[in-house]
Structure 1
């Protein structure tokens, strides 16, 4: 049990700082944003499992298993006394593991509730203020002079553009922008971003949480750019991005809070639309996917091994 706690603690420490720092500064994610996004999700999930698992393994070590700790402590909590083999540090570790689990779960729940309320409010505003476009794009046009485009996810989705954007862009550029926004909806980017936003809000003192959320926002923008490029072409998309700038999209999806695209992200997006872009080698992609699976499988396997 102590060996399992040490192993999970070492993994949690690696996934808490050096691994995500290295990933956030690497150049290859822009060449394969889907692979990088999966790796970020693996780091977040594997890190949380390893952190909680290390605490559980250490706290339950006097009983030899998690199930044994439950059998020993539950009756003691009800009628006492606590077994002498469980010291203060063991009880503190178990308490911290349970508290951290509840804290993370509550933050995911509250973040999801706030996001859903915001989406419902935005849908009502779109229904009230925006008109359908004349084409078959399915977008809604908002009477506003500033060029903007955003999407509202949910069971009922909406892609919103402003009259200022329609006046600024030509037909192909406008199609590229709409395709970009539709990609956010079709690929459920709001769910990915919600998890990382909840992680950031749960651990605001954790520097890597902000870095991870920013990296994931940029990757979802790149994935949406790839969809627009396939449907319309790179040049219309590039021209639209240059004309509208980073302020033309309030976020990967319309919602409150979180990280919004900025000039630095826009520059990286424009750079990868050039002819010099080369996708990541298939062997490297396979290695990243294997690493993602391993990062999650290791803590799950260790916890399964000490469960009984």
Structure 2
């Protein structure tokens, strides 16, 4: 059967964005110095990878129905409802087209289900907090739970709250506690839960796909670094680093200071806290203008090229 050249290009791009590119980015050192840029690149990789994968299958499946996407879609719809099928339609074309439709539906449904599930979990958690916590004096948006382990997290919702444990309050100084609160409120203001939900849905949609897990872990760490950058502006690097170091020394790295919520092992959670502490205590690393420009160009190309290839094929 003839092979659509655009479908081949998109397929190669999808493979590159599914394995070597995320692997290289996950191992790179520069994202810690530019978390906003790195997050934008991760999002563009995920978007371009999905469009390329679905677009490649779609174009390959529709190839016998016309010379461009519009005529192919029209021809396929006409053949579906009135027939007959073009003579060169094969079982492989049917497979490609079915795979494109099923994959697109699978990804969209997983995103919707993850969003709904997350909202329900946050709602149930909020109901429990109303029963088991009390507001911080003069800070109704901050609630205290009576638990000896140091813990701090934010809970998005119609009335978002920041949650602290008694253990955290007793462990940290007033300045360090203020840094923690500032960190958690940055998550709420910047809507990090929406970004994390998107990458969680990718992982749930493709649980057998190792890059989905790696991407989720990398994005979770980057949003923590982004919240750190907000807190350090008011509290200073030393105070925030001290708070991270103190909590890390208690062995509670998985529950405190907004440590990434999804890494799979305690070692990974502790490694994430150590990475955050290192970027606060070491000399600030910077990303050169050339690298920034290269990343911005890559983001633009990833967002623009796959849709253009699909729509103009």
Alignment TM class, shorter chain as reference: over 0.9
- 1:53 and 2:51 correspond: no
Tell whether the 8 Å contact from 1:220 to 1:252 is kept in structure 2 after alignment: no
**Residue aligned with 2:162, SS:** strand
Moved more, 121-130 or 222-231: 121-130
Distance 1:74 1:107 in 2: 26
- 1:294 and 2:311 correspond: no
Q: Over residues 227-276 of structure 1, what are the superposed CA-to-partner deviations in whole Å (9 max), with x where a residue is unaligned?
A: 1111111111111111112134285688xxx4377011111111101141
Name the TM-score, length of structure 2 as normaliser. Answer: 0.92
Evaluate the alpha carbon distance shift between residue 250 and residue 93 of structure 1 in structure 2; reply closer, same or farther with a 3 A threshold.
farther
Distance 2:258 2:179 in 1: 17
Q: Equivalent residue for 2:12? A: 10
Measured after TM superposition, the shift of residue 138 of structure 1 is 3.5
Name the TM-score, length of structure 1 as normaliser. Answer: 0.93
Q: Equivalent residue for 1:213? A: 216
Tell whether the 8 Å contact from 2:44 to 2:303 is kept in structure 1 after alignment: yes
Measured after TM superposition, the shift of residue 283 of structure 1 is 3.3
Tell whether the 8 Å contact from 1:190 to 1:253 is kept in structure 2 after alignment: no
Q: Equivalent residue for 1:199? A: 202
Q: Equivalent residue for 1:107? A: 110
RMSD, matched Cα: 1.8
**Residue aligned with 2:134, SS:** strand
Q: Equivalent residue for 1:238? A: 241
Tell whether the 8 Å contact from 1:137 to 1:178 is kept in structure 2 after alignment: no
Q: Equivalent residue for 1:259? A: 263
- 1:249 and 2:256 correspond: yes
Distance 1:301 1:101 in 2: 18
Matches within 5 A, 1:131-170: 131-136=134-139, 138-170=141-173
Q: Over residues 35-68 of structure 1, what are the superposed CA-to-partner deviations in whole Å (9 max), with x where a residue is unaligned?
A: 1111000000000000111111111222222322
Distance 2:100 2:205 in 1: 14
Evaluate the alpha carbon distance shift between residue 265 and residue 252 of structure 1 in structure 2; reply closer, same or farther with a 3 A threshold.
closer
Measured after TM superposition, the shift of residue 176 of structure 1 is 0.6
**Residue aligned with 1:60, SS:** helix
Q: Equivalent residue for 2:187? A: 184
**Residue aligned with 1:144, SS:** coil
Distance 1:269 1:251 in 2: 11
Q: Equivalent residue for 1:76? A: 79
Moved more, 231-240 or 132-141: 132-141
Q: Equivalent residue for 2:23? A: 21
Distance 2:139 2:202 in 1: 38
**Residue aligned with 1:273, SS:** helix
Moved more, 105-114 or 268-277: 268-277
Q: Equivalent residue for 1:94? A: 97
Question: Any stretches of 5+ residues in structure 2 without a counterpart?
Answer: none
Distance 1:213 1:85 in 2: 42
Measured after TM superposition, the shift of residue 9 of structure 1 is 1.0
**Residue aligned with 2:93, SS:** helix
Q: Equivalent residue for 2:37? A: 35
Measured after TM superposition, the shift of residue 136 of structure 1 is 4.3
Tell whether the 8 Å contact from 2:259 to 2:269 is kept in structure 1 after alignment: no
